[in-house]
């Protein structure tokens, strides 16, 4: 049996009402399996009818329905069929479950730093039945009573407050009604920091080997948590409904975080073990605010079915940046949103796999993840930001409050949410919904100027819908008229047509830069006229407004991404302006994006060494101009380490000699240098082993795997390939680390031919990936392992063949489509902007 069908879920919801779950888990049976016992109370509207439970067990010991045994041998295709239902029913299932290593179900990880074991539950999307038998769909909610048996030196936590009732025995408080995909258990020898705010008990948990780092960082985490609580209480007008609030930073987590009510799980990379930047702190703060927003929107009010999953995430994405910008010290959060999240989403929305924000069919649970991407997060959040501007913020928040109040502890749809906003604002949203939520692609916006003798006679905002798009998407935005860093005029526009006259600009001197979407308020590609484009480097250096600089960078990056601007022009702008960029979000994200996507990808291979040299020089100049102990110095040092080919410098930095002070003694920086040395072939396997011996942490273990896989030798590639596609058992994180290193360095070392020989094998082996690493990790694996630097049409053709293959899952095909789009854009850029002297065989396939 495949994924649960929507029709099956609707029929089951029409038939039964849940009244209770009682779950008992025995986690003290060894490292492979655990015991699971569940008793479920439910009522049936049609006595005598049949329904089914969802269950994925190693073995089923017993099943009883209303005191009558059901033969465990009848369990098939993850389902327990129950016939002859009574008006009031009790079903009890006792089974043995397997711990997982793919970040789903009940995941069990071993910390190599001390050999200790850690467990956490991830029930999303359909992983709940691998923990306990259940009615696994979002609109069947019930209260939960949970009891856990665990090793005596473990602590246990979950959605309800936990009490140790005897050595190794824990009972959790009864929860309000929950959907199955929110249920979690976290257990192990976790270190903990506690606090309290506004009557809410707070806990932060991390594996024992990170206890020191947690103690150092707890104040920032608690501060953001408290500020977010205060902001949401004011904004929503509803008290936090889940009792205590635990945040578990867990190992080998698939996503950024998961919004389990009362017990949020987050990847433990967010507890930084060494040097870190303000941007990394902002990202953690944003994630904390994001998951807390879900406590109301998603947890208190849950989607009816998975086709509205986008709305949960779009709302939390929007609210997190709003909260972080308005309630915490990270006031630059909207700048970060524009350069990191929107840039990601634009790439997806311009790709062949683009899709509407809403309205995507989800005939079964698994298909909901097919279109779960940068559109669901960044574009959806941008649409909600536009909605707030369109109806007015007061009306928008009033609609949110009404939606949450009317549907508390229940389920609702997108129509319910928009209906609440309509009721609060008095405005029909039918046309707005069609234009923003049910159409796909990115509009292009530009300013059409007619001038005489340097004076603007007429100016219009021009909105061009994507090819094949319906058009008519309204935009609320601002246009900036800028010269020498001075904003001469800012024009606010609510555009409902393809051309909107900008009367405020008529009669004014023509500025050097006319910048659409200057405050980055809407979702669109800004096209710059040639005069404006010629001034961007000067204006980047002169402008004091970070949103203006963001808007300029967004136009440049979009221009290169769509083939309108030579990628070298972006590299040159980076070299000229980046060393002076004062906002960490812009500085950090730009350095990562440009060094990753430009040399050896958008920039032709023959020109890429020069492009990397520009980036390295920018990093060196920034290092020379900032305090060596500052996070800015760390960002610059990371850029130099990632782009340098200087064997002497890298060798010194790997040995912690003459490093910038911000990176001195930092093990993660050491590994970044070692990885770079490995990519370039400057070190051997024995050197990686020596670095590994000095760092036996989980991070060190993963870095070791990545570095070994990056070595440009036949022995290293054979080893890595066997690890990835052979019978070796790997956790999802181990697989991703090796995948990340495998094709690294292509074009920069002598192993291009060796690596090229693996490309066809890569596409042929993809059907193995979901089976080995799980569906959620499989998509990340494909994005990580894809041979992005092998910019050849033959690779694009192989990717297309793999996308068409029914042997690959929908998630793998989707990740391939996104990777192929990036490759196609690189092919276009290299063909369009390569000079005859720089033509390289990889551009001709």
Q: Where do the domains of the chain lie, and which CATH numbers do they carry?
A: 301-437 (1.10.390.10), 443-522+527-565 (no CATH)
Task: Give pLDDT, residue 373.
Answer: 86
Give 73's DSSP letter: G
The SS3 call for residue 797 is helix
CA distances from 598 to 147, 571, 601, 698 (A): 53, 8, 5, 31
Query: Which letter, b or e, does each residue of 357-369 get, where b requires 16 or more Cβ atoms within 10 Å of its Cβ?
Result: bbbbebebbbbbb
Q: How far apart are CA 283 and CA 281, in angstroms?
A: 5
Q: Which residues of 476-503 are buried (b: 16+ CB within 10 A; e: fewer)?
A: bbbbbbbbebebeebbebebeeeebebe
* pLDDT per residue as tens digits for the range 200-242: 999 999 999 999 999 999 999 999 999 999 999 999 999 999 9
Q: How many CA atoms lie within 13 A of 292 on its CB side?
A: 33
The answer to whether 675 and 641 are in contact (CB under 8 A) is no
pTM flag (> 0.85): yes
745-774 residues labelled b (16+ CB within 10 A) or e (exposed): bbbbbebbebbbebbeebbeebeebbebbb
d(CA 577, CA 537): 6
Of the candidates 429, 447, 428, 436, which has an alpha carbon nearest to the alpha carbon of residue 470?
436
Query: What are the catalytic residues?
Result: 291
d(CA 113, CA 111): 5
**CA-closest candidate to residue 34, choices 132, 167, 133:** 132
Helix, strand, coil percentages (3-state) for the chain, rounded to 5, are 50, 20, 30
- Strand pairing category for 88-98 and 59-65: antiparallel
The list of the chain residues with pLDDT below 50 reads 836-845
How far is residue 800's CA from residue 812's CA, in Å, rounded to a whole number?
Answer: 12
Strands 169-172, 162-166: pairing is: antiparallel
Q: How far is CA 753 from the centre of its chain?
A: 34
Give the relative orientation of helices 393-406 and 380-391 as an angle to the nearest 10 degrees: 110
* pLDDT for 811: 86
How far, in Å, CA of 703 to CA of 405, rounded? 47
Helices 567-577 and 810-833 cross at an angle (nearest 10°) of 90
> What is the rounded distance in angstroms from the CA atom of residue 581 to the CA atom of residue 231?
30
- State which H helix or E strand residue 93 sits in: strand 88-98
């Amino acid at each position: 049996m495949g994924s649960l069908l929507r029709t099956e879920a609707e029929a089951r919801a029409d038939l039964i009402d849940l009244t209770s779950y009682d779950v008992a888990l025995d986690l003290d049976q060894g490292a492979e399996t655990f015991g699971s016992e569940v008793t479920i109370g439910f009522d049936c509207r049609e006595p005598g009818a049949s329904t089914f439970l969802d269950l994925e067990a190693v073995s089923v010991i017993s099943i009883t329905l209303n005191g009558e045994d059901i033969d465990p041998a009848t369990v098939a295709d993850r389902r327990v069929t129950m016939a002859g239902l009574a008006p009031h029913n009790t079903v009890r299932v006792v089974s043995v479950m397997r711990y997982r290593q793919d970040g789903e179900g009940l995941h069990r990880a071993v910390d190599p730093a001390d050999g200790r074991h850690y467990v956490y539950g991830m029930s999303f999307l359909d992983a709940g039945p691998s923990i306990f038998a259940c009615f696994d769909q979002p609109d069947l909610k019930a209260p939960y009573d949970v009891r856990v048996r665990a090793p005596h030196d473990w602590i246990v936590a979950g959605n309800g407050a936990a009490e140790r009732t005897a050595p190794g025995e824990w009972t959790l408080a009864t929860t309000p009604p929950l959907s199955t995909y929110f249920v979690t258990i976290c257990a192990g020898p976790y270190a903990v920091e506690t606090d309290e705010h506004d009557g809410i008990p707070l806990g932060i948990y991390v594996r024992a080997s990170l206890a020191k780092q947690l103690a150092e960082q707890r104040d920032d985490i608690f501060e953001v948590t408290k500020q977010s609580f205060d902001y949401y209480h004011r904004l929503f007008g509803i008290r936090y409904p889940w009792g205590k609030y635990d945040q578990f930073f867990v190992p080998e987590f698939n996503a950024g975080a998961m919004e389990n009510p009362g017990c949020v799980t987050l990847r433990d990379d967010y507890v930084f073990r060494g040097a870190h930047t303000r941007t990394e702190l902002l990202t953690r703060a944003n994630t904390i605010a994001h998951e807390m927003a879900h406590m109301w929107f998603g947890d208190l009010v849950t989607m009816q079915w998975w086709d509205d999953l986008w709305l949960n995430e779009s709302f939390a994405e929007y609210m997190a940046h709003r909260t972080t910008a308005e309630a915490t010290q990270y006031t630059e959060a909207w700048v970060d949103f524009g350069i990191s999240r929107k840039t990601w989403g634009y790439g997806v929305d311009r790709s062949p796999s683009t899709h509407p924000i809403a309205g995507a069919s989800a005939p079964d649970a698994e298909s909901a993840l097919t279109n779960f991407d940068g559109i669901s997060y960044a574009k959806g959040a941008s649409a909600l930001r536009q909605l707030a501007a369109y109806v007015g913020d007061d009306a928008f928040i009033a609609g949110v409050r009404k939606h949450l109040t009317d549907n508390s502890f229940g389920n609702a749809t997108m129509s319910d949410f928009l209906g609440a906003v309509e009721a609060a604002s008095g405005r029909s949203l039918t046309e707005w919904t069609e234009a923003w939520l049910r159409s796909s692609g990115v509009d292009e916006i530009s300013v059409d100027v007619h001038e005489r003798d340097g004076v603007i006679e007429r100016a219009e905002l021009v909105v061009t819908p994507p090819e094949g798009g319906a058009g008519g998407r309204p935009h609320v935005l601002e246009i900036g008229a800028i010269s020498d860093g001075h904003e001469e005029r800012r024009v606010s526009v609510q555009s409902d047509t393809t051309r909107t006259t900008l009367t405020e600009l008529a009669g004014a001197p023509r500025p050097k830069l006319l910048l659409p979407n200057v405050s980055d308020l809407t979702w669109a590609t800004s096209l710059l006229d040639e005069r404006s484009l010629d001034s961007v480097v000067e204006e980047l250096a002169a402008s004091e407004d970070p949103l203006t600089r963001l808007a300029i960078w967004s136009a440049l990056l979009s221009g290169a991404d769509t083939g309108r601007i030579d990628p070298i022009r972006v590299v040159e702008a980076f070299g000229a302006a980046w060393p002076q960029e004062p906002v960490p979000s812009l500085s950090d994200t730009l350095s990562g994006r440009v060094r990753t996507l430009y040399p050896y990808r958008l920039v032709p291979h023959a020109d890429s060494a020069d492009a990397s040299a520009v980036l390295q020089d920018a990093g060196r100049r920034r290092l020379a101009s900032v305090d060596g102990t500052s996070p800015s110095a760390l960002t610059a040092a990371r850029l130099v380490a990632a782009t340098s080919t200087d064997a002497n410098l890298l060798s010194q930095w790997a040995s912690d000699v003459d490093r910038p002070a911000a990176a001195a003694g930092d093990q993660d920086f050491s590994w970044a240098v070692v990885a770079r040395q490995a990519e370039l072939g400057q070190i051997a396997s024995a050197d990686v082993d020596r670095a590994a011996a000095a760092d036996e942490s989980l991070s060190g273990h993963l870095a070791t795997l990545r570095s070994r896989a990056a070595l440009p030798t036949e022995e290293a590639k054979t080893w890595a390939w066997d690890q990835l596609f052979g019978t070796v058992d790997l956790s999802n994180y181990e697989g991703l680390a090796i995948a990340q290193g495998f094709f690294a360095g292509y074009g920069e070392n002598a192993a291009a031919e060796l690596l090229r020989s693996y490309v066809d094998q890569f596409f042929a082996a993809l059907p193995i990936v979901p089976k080995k690493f799980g569906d959620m990790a499989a998509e990340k694996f494909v994005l990580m392992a894809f041979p992005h630097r092998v910019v050849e049409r033959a690779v694009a053709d192989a990717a297309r063949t793999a996308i068409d293959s029914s042997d690959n899952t929908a998630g793998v095909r989707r990740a391939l489509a996104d990777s192929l789009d990036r490759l196609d854009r690189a092919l276009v850029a290299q063909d369009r902007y390569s000079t005859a002297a720089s033509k390289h065989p990889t551009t001709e396939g």
